[in-house]
Amino acid sequence: MISDSERVRGSGQVGTLGARDEVAAAYLAAGRHSDAITLYRHVLADRERTQGSRHPQTVTTRQGLADSYLASGRAKEAVSAYKRVVADRDHTVGPDHLDTVRARYSLGGAYQRTGKTVAAERIYEQTQAGFERVLGPLHPDTLRSRAELARVYRKLGRYGDARALLSATVDRLARILPDDDPLITELRESLADIGDA
């Protein structure tokens, strides 16, 4: 499919780039991280050349590359790519756009993987507030970001903050999920662990 599109339209044509992006995403989903990284890099270079570095599709390709870096264990490269994605999304759609908030959440996860817990804390605090503004206090992404922030607080020895945030998150989840939901169970276990700390 891609070779036909490249032959007919050229490798830098938007439709061809979209098809190549889809193949890279399929590689990532299949665990073929090296192939995903290679293809995303090529697509990114072509998108920057033909569409510009801040075009929404270029930024989406860069995010796919960052996701691939993170999945392959290359967290430092993921941090660098996610920083660029966040900056570009801030510039093009604004800090409270859902795509920007989600990119910032991914950056926090990459910071955690590099052991930069203080940087992750700052990012997760921004992300949690962003999800709450954009999606509301009971949306799963908001609640997930609150739980992640509580985990970071715990790693930093801020047990009281972690306990308070997890407790409030469990209370909110209990309003929308059944009591035996796996996420509620996991968070209650985390809350119990913090109680022992």
State residue 75 phi and psi, 5-degree precision. -65, -35
**3-state percent breakdown (helix, strand, coil) of the chain, nearest 5:** 80, 0, 20
* Among 74, 1, 2, 81, CA closest to 33: 74
How many helical (H) and strand (E) elements, i.e. helices and strands, does the chain have? 10, 0
What is residue 172's DSSP assignment?
H
**74 has a pLDDT exceeding 90:** yes
Residue 109, SS3 per DSSP:
helix
In Å, the largest CA–CA distance within the chain is 64
d(CA 78, CA 62): 10
| Mean pLDDT value of segment 134-162 | 91
19 to 9, 43, 45: CA distances (angstroms) = 12, 10, 15
**4 has a pLDDT exceeding 60:** no
* pLDDT value at residue 12: 55
pTM of the model: 0.85
Residue 122 has which token pair?
């700052």
* pLDDT value at residue 112: 95
d(CA 141, CA 175): 15
* pLDDT value at residue 5: 45
Say how many CA atoms lie within 13 Å of 163 toward its Cβ. Answer: 10
Across the chain, what does the average pLDDT equal?
90
d(CA 183, CA 167): 13
150: amino acid identity, one letter: A
* pLDDT value at residue 143: 85
